[in-house]
């Protein structure tokens, strides 16, 4: 699989990133190199192989339904770049 | 005193030959003295002396203190500490102050550790040279023209330069072991799940693991004793009994079976590195260790699996850095989408963007099966191969890094070349196994690291072998600063 | 050409847990903005999710109540999208492995019982809330991380009415099982619909649209009616239906395009690496099955068989868990089930509908209703008086016996006393007496009415009838 600039544009949009034309050109090159390297995996037949999400079996990490104290409002908003009346403020969101 | 080990400092404090305050002041002085050259620290906590005084007070009152009490240490800047900045060496988190403690920080505090600062790293732990830090270039204490390795370059350099008695780093594909190797210190990556990741800013959740950098193996055992164990705040932390790892020191190595995977000693490994390892392995035979050649052919695919899994997870893990709730928000933007795009494009460095892009692509519609799912299947094969190997041997030895420390800029332009630095360490993360890098000698006056890989939760066995090698070699490496 | 609609629903229900799905913050509704937040539900760097066991329990319960199979090995997934109310810019949900799948609900249509398939139920986290104010949006993360189940139906509904019946039945089941409080006005029960139309008899699906923002049963029905008509008209005019998301605008009575597919969604699902497999065993599932209450369908069947209620009445009473409980309490106290049911179907529901109230809000108890009925049965008061007493009982919550006593409403059954009133009325109405004698039997009714009025309704009606006739004949 090879990547072209339109795919770089599409992926950048999904990732909420922007690049100069020059950077995009470089990406196409870098991407294709890395993808070519990754394509090594196609040498292996994985037809009947299960996926491993974790390295060894891990299951049922659960907590009891108990309420514990939340952060204070000051702590919640400690790092807010923009806030108003206890809310985080952003430019108007349209659906 | 800067080059004493943590356990030696512990003994001095217990014998009241020195106070925690004195040790801390000395450490802060040492940082002032050498960090202009080494650049390991992003921030030094001058008020660390206060917590040292607390420990002295407890000692004066005759209270029992823990092993690490009063000993100055520092943490990689991707581990959250309440009321302190956590930047991940990224512009986007330049001003982020954590309102909570990571579980490891809680445990260090419970153990009386004196945390003296935040350490430099590759931005969001992505890199093998610490050149990707947005703030400074950390130098290798053995040669200031060379990189300390990465991504935990600051953590390794600080221990090597005597700027802390031990440090914490994180290891996703070798980020503890490779810089430990390049800086001539001990770097331990525990089994995935041994140490809570709660409060570690995630790069790749399924691979990340916190671990210590220390001067010697005994110190590694002490730090592991303090930080390992089940945490109810981390679903992936393992509910496995934590033994006292110091009981694994000074053990006989007679009959221990060690495998040498031929794929890890082949092409791409520098001769100087191989030579130092061979010397160490020869000594092991004298100690009664059974050495056996093994084969791990699937390991050659680990790097490809790693780049798919780690980049994909990173693309999602780093989505939260958007300038809405925290972090740096771009100054000019048209609307909320533009706010995201500008804040992220200005806030992230090139390598981070490259990996986000790669991961986003690998997960995007139509490619998931070909990349991510495929990688999860090959992961199964890599795991199975290690499992099978551990039916025949107790431990596996390999080089940590294919080469000694390289020069700044040497690999910075070619991502693939840089990625190959992790070729010996990455399979271990894919399989979730524990491994350590210990100094094996010098090649061209630069440290060479030896990696010992153990089976799941067999950190103790690793410590036994590492301690045996350390004693046999008795290198006592020190940089000329 | 005749068209038919194809409707599928996606329903989100907030679960009744005390704490959030992945952290210990409270799920309480309506507190000051951003006061129920912690590193986990704010998506702070380094924070990690840990699954609330009760979320799994409730979801299993919902699955069992909706006749689903429970999947014993599942894992969570990330759904990636950027939105300011999503603190991590991904939602933790389930994708390839929902907790429950392949269930159904039966609804009663005019053509008989119809089974609506349920494709899946999965657990996931809710997002925060954005308030729009001028040029800004203000974000509150209190709701972020509140546990949800998403219930996805098969495209089995063919009319807005069926969709509404399904949704009502589903709500009733969720309330019975206490899986959710289902408060639609607080957003704890939300419904989106996928709608398409096709020529009747066709087996292929048309292009569907997704309708959001339907905040009541009525809105669901109206929005679907509008959308189906819109699609049919479009097709008749030779237009193409576009796959899009539309919002129901209650005030305008229209569905309006929300977002076009220009920006295609590419959610990049993958297994959540911060979490581990969820493994269930039979013991766990059976343990939950044991806590399952009698569900509306079972209850209805029992009411018909055991109490002889008409199907219609049984259906209405069992739709509300509280109403059914009220009914059963009354029966247990010793009332006649049919009489109680008649009262509930009549006076009780009438007044509740009038006042827009629910049974749990009333001041009187089931015991009061039984007392009232027995007052009628014993002949202490007439049915007419009983209805008045009921209104009083509803308003004040007073004991009906006390109301009857205080207001002197005891029925007059003394023949002499009634005869006196009858004669007084006859004396006052000579014209009616004359009419009767001229064969106009209607006059009887008028006189009876006057007697009842004169007795303030307290005279025993049967006796009044008898005595009026007797006295008229005497004249």
- Average confidence (pLDDT) over B179-183: 98
Q: Reduced to 3 states, what is the DSSP secondary structure of residue C430?
A: helix
Q: Do C53 and A65 touch (CB under 8 A)?
A: yes
Name the residue with higher pLDDT: A30 or C128. C128
User: Cα separation of B182 and B178, whole Å?
Assistant: 6
Q: In this structure, is the dihedral angle defined by the CA atoms of residues B163, B164, B170 and B173, taken in order, positive or negative?
A: positive
- Nearest CA-CA distance, residue A59 and chain B, Å: 9
Reported as a pLDDT band with limits 50, 70 and 90, residue A94 is confident
DSSP run (H or E) holding B164:
none
- Nearest CA-CA distance, residue A56 and chain B, Å: 8
- Closest Cα to residue B121, out of B85, B95, B155, B163? B155
pLDDT tens column, C55-109: 999 999 999 999 999 999 999 999 999 999 999 999 999 999 999 999 999 998 8
Q: Reduced to 3 states, what is the DSSP secondary structure of residue C119?
A: strand
Q: How many CB atoms lie within 10 A of CB C388?
A: 16
Mean pLDDT lowest among B252-266, B278-292, B346-360, C423-437: C423-437
pLDDT tens column, B30-58: 999 999 999 999 999 999 999 999 999 99
Q: For chain B, give the mean pLDDT.
A: 96
Residue of A nearest to C270 (CA): A53
pLDDT for B82 beyond 90: yes
B:60-89 residues touching chain C, CB 8 A cutoff: 78-80, 86, 88
pLDDT tens column, C379-418: 788 888 889 889 999 999 899 888 888 877 777 878 888 8
User: Cα separation of B387 and B298, whole Å?
Assistant: 12
% pLDDT > 70, chain C: 99
DSSP structural state of residue B319? G
Q: Do B363 and C89 touch (CB under 8 A)?
A: no
Q: Do A15 and B360 touch (CB under 8 A)?
A: yes
Name the residue with higher pLDDT: B415 or C169. C169
Mean pLDDT lowest among A81-90, B67-76, C428-437: C428-437
Residue A64 with chain C: CB contacts under 8 Å = 52-54
Q: Is residue A51 part of a domain?
A: no
The complex scores an ipTM of 0.96
Is any Cβ of chain B less than 8 angstroms from the Cβ of C135?
no
DSSP run (H or E) holding B122:
none
> Buried (b) or exposed (e) across A51-78, using 16+ Cβ within 10 A?
ebbbbbebeebbbebebeebbeeebbbb
Catalytic residues of B: 76, 151, 175
Predicted pLDDT at C262: 45
Predicted pLDDT at C161: 96
Q: Is residue A1 part of a domain?
A: yes
Q: Reduced to 3 states, what is the DSSP secondary structure of residue C16?
A: coil
- Closest Cα to residue B194, out of B151, B154, B155, B238? B238
Residue of C nearest to B320 (CA): C88
Task: Assign residue A35 the CATH number of its domain.
Answer: 1.10.20
Q: How far is CA C43 from CA A64, B96, B154, C141, C266, in A?
A: 21, 13, 27, 10, 21
Q: How many CB atoms lie within 10 A of CB B454?
A: 25
Predicted pLDDT at C264: 60
Mean pLDDT lowest among B205-214, B408-417, C423-432: B408-417
**Structural domain boundaries enclosing A1:** 1-43
Predicted pLDDT at C261: 47
Q: Do B354 and A61 touch (CB under 8 A)?
A: no
pLDDT tens column, C267-322: 999 999 999 999 999 999 999 999 999 999 999 999 999 999 999 999 999 989 99
Q: Is residue A56 part of a domain?
A: no
Residue of B nearest to C81 (CA): B319
Q: For chain C, give the mean pLDDT.
A: 92
Residue A64 with chain B: CB contacts under 8 Å = none
User: Cα separation of B89 and B93, whole Å?
Assistant: 8
From first CA to last CA, the distance across chain C in angstroms is 74
Predicted pLDDT at A95: 61
Q: Is residue A49 part of a domain?
A: no
pLDDT for A66 beyond 80: yes
Q: Do A54 and B236 touch (CB under 8 A)?
A: yes
- Nearest CA-CA distance, residue A30 and chain B, Å: 8
3-state DSSP of B23-57:
HHHHHHHHHHHHHHHHCCEEEECCCHHHHHHHHHH
Name the residue with higher pLDDT: B78 or C458. B78
Residue of B nearest to A79 (CA): B326
Contact present, C227 and C246 (Cβ < 8 Å): yes
Reported as a pLDDT band with limits 50, 70 and 90, residue B227 is very high
Domain count across chain A? 1
User: Cα separation of C150 and C99, whole Å?
Assistant: 10
- Closest Cα to residue C97, out of C284, C269, C230? C269
- Nearest CA-CA distance, residue A11 and chain C, Å: 10
Residue C273 with chain B: CB contacts under 8 Å = 204-206, 236, 313
User: Cα separation of B329 and B383, whole Å?
Assistant: 42
Which chain A residues touch C if contact means CB-CB below 8 Å?
14, 16, 51, 53-54, 57-68, 70-71, 73, 76-77, 84-93, 95
DSSP run (H or E) holding A47:
none
Of the options 1.10.260.40, 3.40.47.10, 3.40.50.2000, 1.10.10.410, the CATH number for the domain spanning C415-474 = 1.10.10.410
CB pairs under 8 A between A and C: 121
Chains that touch B (3 or more CB pairs under 8 A): A, C
Instruction: Tell me the sheet residues that pair with C7.
Output: C157, C195
Contact present, B316 and C273 (Cβ < 8 Å): no
Domain ranges for chain C, please list them: 3-287, 296-406, 415-474
Predicted pLDDT at C384: 83
């Amino acid at each position: 699989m090879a990547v072209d600039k339109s795919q770089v544009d599409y992926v950048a949009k999904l990732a909420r990133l922007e690049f100069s034309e020059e950077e995009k050109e470089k990406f196409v090159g870098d991407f294709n190199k890395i993808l070519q390297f990754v394509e090594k995996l196609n040498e292996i037949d994985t037809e009947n192989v299960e996926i491993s999400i974790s390295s060894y079996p891990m299951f049922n990490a659960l907590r009891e339904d108990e309420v514990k104290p939340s952060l204070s409002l000051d702590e919640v908003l400690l790092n807010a770049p923009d806030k108003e009346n206890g809310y985080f403020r952003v430019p108007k969101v349209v659906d | 005193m800067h080059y004493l080990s943590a356990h030696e400092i512990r003994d001095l404090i217990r014998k009241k030959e020195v106070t925690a305050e004195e040790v801390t002041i000395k450490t802060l002085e040492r940082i002032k003295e050498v960090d202009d050259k080494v650049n390991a620290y992003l921030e030094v906590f001058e008020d660390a002396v206060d917590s040292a005084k607390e420990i002295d007070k407890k000692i004066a009152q005759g209270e029992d203190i823990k092993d690490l009490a009063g000993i100055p240490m520092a943490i990689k800047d991707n581990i959250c500490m309440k009321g302190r900045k956590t930047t991940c060496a990224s512009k986007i988190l330049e001003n982020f102050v954590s309102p909570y403690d990571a579980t490891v920080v809680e445990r260090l505090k419970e153990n009386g550790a004196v945390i003296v600062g935040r350490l430099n790293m590759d931005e969001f732990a992505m890199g093998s040279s610490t050149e990707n830090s947005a703030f400074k270039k950390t130098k290798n204490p053995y040669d200031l023209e060379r990189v300390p390795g990465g991504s935990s370059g600051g953590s390794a350099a600080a221990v090597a330069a005597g700027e802390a008695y031990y440090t914490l780093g994180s290891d996703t594909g070798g980020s503890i072991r490779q810089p430990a190797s390049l800086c001539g210190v001990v770097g331990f990556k525990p089994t995935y799940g041994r140490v809570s990741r709660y409060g570690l800013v995630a790069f790749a959740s399924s691979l990340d693991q916190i671990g210590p950098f220390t001067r010697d193996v005994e110190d590694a055992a002490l730090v592991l004793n303090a930080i390992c164990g089940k945490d109810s705040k981390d679903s992936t932390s393992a509910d496995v009994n934590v033994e006292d790892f110091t009981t694994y020191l000074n053990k006989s190595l007679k009959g221990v079976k060690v495998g040498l995977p031929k794929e890890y000693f082949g092409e791409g490994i520098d001769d100087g590195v191989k030579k130092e390892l061979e010397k160490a392995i020869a000594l092991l035979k004298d100690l009664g260790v059974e050495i056996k050649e093994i084969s791990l052919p699937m390991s050659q695919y680990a790097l490809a699996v790693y780049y798919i899994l780690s980049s994909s997870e990173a693309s999602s893990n780093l989505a939260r850095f958007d300038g809405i709730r925290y972090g740096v928000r771009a100054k000019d933007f048209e609307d909320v989408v533009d706010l995201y795009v500008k804040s992220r494009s200005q806030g992230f460095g090139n390598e981070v963007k490259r990996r986000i892009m790669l991961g986003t692509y690998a997960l995007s519609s139509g490619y998931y099966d070909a990349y991510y799912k495929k990688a999860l299947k090959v992961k199964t094969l890599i795991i199975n191969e290690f499992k099978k190997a551990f039916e025949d041997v107790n431990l596996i030895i390999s080089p940590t890094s294919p080469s000694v420390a390289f020069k700044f800029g040497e690999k910075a332009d070619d991502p693939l070349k840089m990625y190959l630095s992790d070729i010996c360490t990455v399979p271990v993360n894919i399989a979730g196994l524990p491994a350590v890098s210990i100094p094996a000698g010098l090649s061209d006056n630069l440290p060479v690291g030896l990696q010992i890989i153990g089976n799941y939760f067999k950190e103790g066995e690793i410590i036994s072998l590492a301690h045996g090698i350390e004693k046999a070699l008795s290198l006592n490496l020190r940089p000329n600063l | 050409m005749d068209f038919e609609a194809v409707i599928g629903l996606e329903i989100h229900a907030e679960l009744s847990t005390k704490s959030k799905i992945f952290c210990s913050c409270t799920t309480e509704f309506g507190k000051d903005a951003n006061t129920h937040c912690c590193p986990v539900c704010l998506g702070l760097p380094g924070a990690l999710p840990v699954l609330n066991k009760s979320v799994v329990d409730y979801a299993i319960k919902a699955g069992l109540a909706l006749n689903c199979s429970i999947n014993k090995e599942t894992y969570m997934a990330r759904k990636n999208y950027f939105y300011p109310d999503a603190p991590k810019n991904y939602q933790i949900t389930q994708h390839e492995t929902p907790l429950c799948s392949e269930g159904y609900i039966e609804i009663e249509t005019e053509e008989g019982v119809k089974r609506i398939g349920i494709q899946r139920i999965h657990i996931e986290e809710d997002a925060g809330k954005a308030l729009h104010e001028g040029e800004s949006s203000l974000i509150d993360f209190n709701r972020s991380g509140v546990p949800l189940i998403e219930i996805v139906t098969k495209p089995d509904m063919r009319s807005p009415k069926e969709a509404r019946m399904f949704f009502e039945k589903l709500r009733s089941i969720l309330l019975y099982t206490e899986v959710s409080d289902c408060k639609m006005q607080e957003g704890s029960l939300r419904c989106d619909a996928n709608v398409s139309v096709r020529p009747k008899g066709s087996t292929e699906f048309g292009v569907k649209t997704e309708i959001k923002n339907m905040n009541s049963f009525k809105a669901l029905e109206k929005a679907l009616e509008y959308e189906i008509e819109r699609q049919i008209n479009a097709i008749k005019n030779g237009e193409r239906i576009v796959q899009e998301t539309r919002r129901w605008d209650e005030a305008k009575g229209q569905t309006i395009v929300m977002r076009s597919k220009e920006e295609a969604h590419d959610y990049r699902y993958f297994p959540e690496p911060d979490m581990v497999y969820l493994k269930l065993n039979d013991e766990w599932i059976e343990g939950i099955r044991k806590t399952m209450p009698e569900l509306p369908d079972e209850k209805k069947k029992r009411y018909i068989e055991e109490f002889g209620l008409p199907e219609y009445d049984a259906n209405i009473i069992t739709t509300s868990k509280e109403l059914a409980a009220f009914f059963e309490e009354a029966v247990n106290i010793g009332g006649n089930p049919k009489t109680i049911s008649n009262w509930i179907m009549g006076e009780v529901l009438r007044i509740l509908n009038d006042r827009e109230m629910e049974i749990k809000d009333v001041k009187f108890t089931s015991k009061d209703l039984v007392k009232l009925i027995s007052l009628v049965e014993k002949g202490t008061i007439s049915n007419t008086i009983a209805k008045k007493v009921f209104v009083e009982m509803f308003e004040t919550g007073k004991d009906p016996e006390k109301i009857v006593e205080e207001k002197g409403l005891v029925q007059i059954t003394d023949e002499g006393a009634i005869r006196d009133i009858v004669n007084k009325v006859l004396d006052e109405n000579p014209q009616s007496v004359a009419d009767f004698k001229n064969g106009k039997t209607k006059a009887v009714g008028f006189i009876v009415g006057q007697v009842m009025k004169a007795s303030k309704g307290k005279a025993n009606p049967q006796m009044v009838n008898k005595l009026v006739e007797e006295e008229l004949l005497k004249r």
